[in-house]
Structure 1
Amino acid sequence: MMDWTDRHCRAFHRLMSSQALLYTEMVTAPALVRGGARHLLAFGAGEHPVALQLGGSDPAELAQAARMAVDEGYDEVNLNVGCPSDRVQSGCFGAVLMERPALVGDCVAAMIAASRVPVTVKCRIGVDDQIPEEVLPNFLQVIRAAGVTRVTIHARKAWLQGLSPKDNREIPPLDYPLVQAMKREFPDLHISINGGIATLDQAEEQLAAGLDGVMIGRAAYNQPAEVLLDVDRRIFGIDVAPKTALQVAEEMRPHIARHLAAGGRLHDVTRHMLGLFSGRPGARAWRRILSEGAVRPGAGVEVLEAALDPVRRTWDEAAA
């Protein structure tokens, strides 16, 4: 979710669910430790619970980055062993580490020793010509022995040669039964599933199959209201009436005002909000007005209000 789940996106998503665990974009340990990019760790107090997603392959460096995360107040530190991009491979982290489970074990052991919050792993079922039924159980055994108790498995292989990152999210076939089998084989591990899950109905099916959690990425970003507005009630069992998408848009005003007052651009925030009314009357006008207006120099909350006008009209008509 690089360039997607920044602090503005997380503030927006948190308005829709008080319970869902939010993840940062992947931040590389070298950028934090050697590059002095500690500003990448900034997040708002209202984002909890929130996990920092780290990329790296040097145990000592990852341990230092984990300590920084703890100092900043994150609720979890996650090691990404699933990203297939060329940029990540060249740094020897991400999905390429599926080929080096012993190194991953060393990394998470060092991170656990340096952290007082959970250290978790996100991985694939395998890469390239690996046989997932063989490599995935071995990988889980190694990280469990190193002290990891929570793992999220993207139920696809990653092809490190020949497929783009986008293709790697869509072309390799999904193998949900294998991930479910891993939960039966490792009942002591908290195992979440990721990949191709786009609705709460599908999430509930995975939970009913015995998995402990579900990670939803693109669908939660592209259709946030559909995925997130009812998640607290349906998934977490909290007796609460879900907000409307219109309420969420209006509740974003204070965040937007603070960002603008600090010298930020409206587009920094509203680019994450384009899908809020997806599939609903007024959605096309909402997207057009925000897309065209928020990028203009000096754009302010008046653009948000203009984009909300056609949505409000359809809301009022439906209520009449």
Structure 2
Amino acid sequence: MTTAFYPIGTPGQAWGVAEKAQWLARQRVQRSYADDVLARIDALRDRFDVAGYGELDYPSGRYPLLAIRSRGWDDALPVALVTGGVHGYETSGVQGALKFVERHAADYAGRCNLLVAPCVSPWGYERIQRWNALALDPNRNFIAASPAPESAALMALVQPLAGRFLMHVDLHETTDSDESEFRPALAARDGKPFEPDSVPDGFYLCADSLNPQPAFQQAVIAAVAKVTHIAPPDAQGRIIGSPVVAHGVIEYPLKALGLCASITGARYTTTTEVYPDSPRATPEQCDDAQVAAVTGALAYALAHR
């Protein structure tokens, strides 16, 4: 007999319509996208351009999708993309993206065009949830004809700029709730067994295995190490099941997995992972680590165009 490890569904059977509806009914609004994100974006309109790139239309409500752009956009300059909140529950990705714009984005005027989408998944942000309202993970659905509207909208935003991106940093977290809630939910949804793993204590990066750019990744790690600690490998030399290829760095095939960091084809791409549940890091440190990752990435990318 297979033991149930999640309160929805039958072990060994993928969810159907009824199970997804049961899951959706459990989700509750816990914070405000309008107050936490849209208000801060509005406060930036005197210094940056703000572009709407779509709207989520779920039965529970509508969510405008906004991106922040450099004022005085110059087509002769390279483009750098920063994304946060692809997983809505990963708070420092959203807050770090906004903090970067508020404190540092103006420094890059005349050097590059910045495009920042600070909260890709606002429905998930409000519910502190990894998935969207369709029980889909946006960060596995950056694919052609994406069924995830959050992913499809972001891809449509960047498509007109194809071939012009120098850098893309996608801001994420790895949390204790990955093991207690989100990975068990994933296994249950797909009718697969849940195999527990450990949560790394510290910051790390996911590079593209087809375009790893190791010197770039280490430049980002060095910048973040000034703010917070870098995750060590486990006893098997791995982080979340992947071999550590350099200090604080693992690799994924980004495009094959439908991950956000694959959407630009930029020379320099990385996915950050902050551990907000560490006793060694405060929420402010986590936000600052994301900011340091972006500024460190930009410094390297602009110096090695």
Would the TM-score normalized by the shorter structure come out above 0.5? no
TM-score, normalised to structure 2's length? 0.28
Between the two structures, name the one with larger relative contact order (CA 8 Å, sep ≥ 6).
Answer: 2
TM-score, normalised to structure 1's length? 0.27
Bigger strand fraction = 2
Larger radius of gyration: 1
